[in-house]
Amino acid sequence: MGASELNKQAPNIFVWLLLLGMPFWLPAIGGYTELGTRAVVLGLAAMSLNFLLGYTGVLSFGHAAYFGLGAYGVGMTIRYLMPSTIVGILVGTLVGTLAAAIIGPLIIRLRGVYFAMVTIAFGQVFFFIAFRWNSVTGGDDGLSGWTRLPLDFGFASIDIQHNARAFYYFVLVVFALSVGAMAWLLRSPFGRTLIAIRENEQRARFLGIPVDQHIWISWVISCCFVSVAGALYALLNNFIDPRALYWSQSGDFVIMAVLGGMRSFWGPLIGAAIFVVLQDYLSSQTENWMSFVGLFFVLVVLFFPRGVLGVIRRKVTS
């Protein structure tokens, strides 16, 4: 590894060291482990969204639906089918991915605000299913009566149920696998093609790239990882309710991506961390935290549209 290569890898190494040490340094500065887990889970959701938003240039406002499907998938699997955390995550991811794959063909030809409008409206179908199907989903009260279960490998078992730190590292492993897969995809010719579509769709089309097909695949990949995040989110809370599928949740994911910087790989993770800490702080300080979150949206749009990493990168290059 040469010096320049090391220089290039420095941000990645820094992020991973920070994440690996989280349960140790976060409590020292006044946080708690669950807060860190939350940031990583929502960070994965925002990074998955950014695969589509930042790297393919497609404006999705409906990712909460697939996040919620992953969450209900894991909860319902553990409650009704099979008491296994891993199987639950797999089922949740599969459900979310399948739903996205089916809806995909209906929306891939739409662009811009139209795409945003249709994705957010479609999300509501799943919200109302979760809300109305009381006997199975628990309706408005949410799905309770289940918990995440220890990981059992036969020869050894890890208690992620009661040990918050063990659960954090479990989440981090899933996060690493997902993020690694996305990074690998983005570096592949397929990922480069997505960026080409983002930069100039017409030119990509003229070059013979099947644009709609690429957007469909990118949409499914993005929704797949957001449902992984949703599954982890349900496991974190040992509970899931329809609010995780509501349209305002989709907006939260978008603001995380924008706040951190849509044009950078780690940006959405930083955005999610800021958002989670802010929400945690505000909801403990005031009942009207929603106003402040709204104000925060407005301020980010007006004064900080490039996000944290966007601003830093600009400073570095100039």
Residues in contact with another protein by the rule CB under 8 A: 53, 59, 61, 103, 106-107, 109-114, 116-118, 120-122, 124-125, 128-129, 131-133, 247-248, 251, 254-255, 258, 288, 290-291, 293-298, 300-302, 305
The total number of residues written for the chain in this structure: 318
In sequence order, which ranges of the chain are alpha helices (DSSP H)? Answer: 3-28, 33-53, 63-76, 85-107, 112-132, 134-137, 164-187, 189-199, 201-206, 211-237, 247-260, 267-285, 289-303, 307-317
Whether residue 229 contacts residue 41, with contact meaning beta carbons closer than 8 Å, is answered with yes
Residue the block writes with tokens 């995780």: 244
Residue among 223, 217, 228, 109 at smallest CA distance from 171: 228
Nearer to another protein, 16 or 292 (CB): 292
**Dist. CA 301–CA 141, nearest whole Å:** 34
In sequence order, what DSSP letters do the residues of 272-290 get, joined into one string? HHHHHHHHHHHHHH-TTHH
Shortest separation between residue 275's beta carbon and another protein, angstroms: 13
Shortest separation between residue 120's beta carbon and another protein, angstroms: 7
**Dist. CA 67–CA 169, nearest whole Å:** 21
Shortest separation between residue 32's beta carbon and another protein, angstroms: 26
Nearer to another protein, 74 or 107 (CB): 107
Shortest separation between residue 128's beta carbon and another protein, angstroms: 4
Shortest separation between residue 59's beta carbon and another protein, angstroms: 6
Shortest separation between residue 246's beta carbon and another protein, angstroms: 9
**Dist. CA 271–CA 280, nearest whole Å:** 14
**Dist. CA 233–CA 99, nearest whole Å:** 19
Shortest separation between residue 119's beta carbon and another protein, angstroms: 11
Nearer to another protein, 76 or 89 (CB): 76
Nearer to another protein, 112 or 150 (CB): 112
Whether residue 262 contacts residue 254, with contact meaning beta carbons closer than 8 Å, is answered with no
Nearer to another protein, 109 or 192 (CB): 109
Shortest separation between residue 201's beta carbon and another protein, angstroms: 14
**Dist. CA 291–CA 271, nearest whole Å:** 19
**Dist. CA 221–CA 181, nearest whole Å:** 10
Nearer to another protein, 82 or 301 (CB): 301
